[in-house]
Structure 1
Amino acid sequence: MSCGDHHETDCREVLAEVYLYLDLECSEDRRMLIRGHLDECSPCLREYGIEQEVKVLVARSCGAETAPPELKQRLRAKLSELVFEADTREFLAE
């Protein structure tokens, strides 16, 4: 994914590392770079929010177990669908 705007760090690179960022598994320098990107890039921030929600839902549903990849994919798809619906409603209301 790319928002089409130029950023210091490419959108695809940021989204590829979002789980490392969420799990505090990257260096502080990398965290600052990713955070800066998320602050200036709305599409990536929206995707980050979806990933964050997936992580919370999986943790709540699976506890200490590892969630199957299919569950994570279904959750991502459903959350993306809900975000799209909310964005569409907001756009139509304008």
Structure 2
Amino acid sequence: MSAELFIDWVSLASLVLLALALLLSLARIIIGPTLSDRVLALDLLTVVAMGFIGAIAVRTGLTLYLDIAIALALLGFLATVALARYILLRAQRGENA
């Protein structure tokens, strides 16, 4: 087995597992009983999507995908901070968090 074939199989397996993780985190966003669970699942979705993009970058050999993953990381961080602030303000007003 050559190294190229090994990388091909491993990247395919990682894409399948990451797709499963994406579906499970999406299910947690839809189901997730509290808003905090949904925010955490959204953060997980962002991290898994970055891994998915990274696996695609390894599989195709294009480094452009890594720039996309960095932009997604920044966007996910800002979304998590904004939603955490929203939860904090909501808790201070006495609403259900």
Regarding TM over 0.5, the answer is no
Which of structures 1 and 2 has the larger relative contact order (alpha carbons within 8 angstroms, sep 6+)?
2
Taking structure 2 as the reference length, the TM-score comes to: 0.40
The higher radius of gyration belongs to 2
**Bigger proportion of residues as helix:** 2
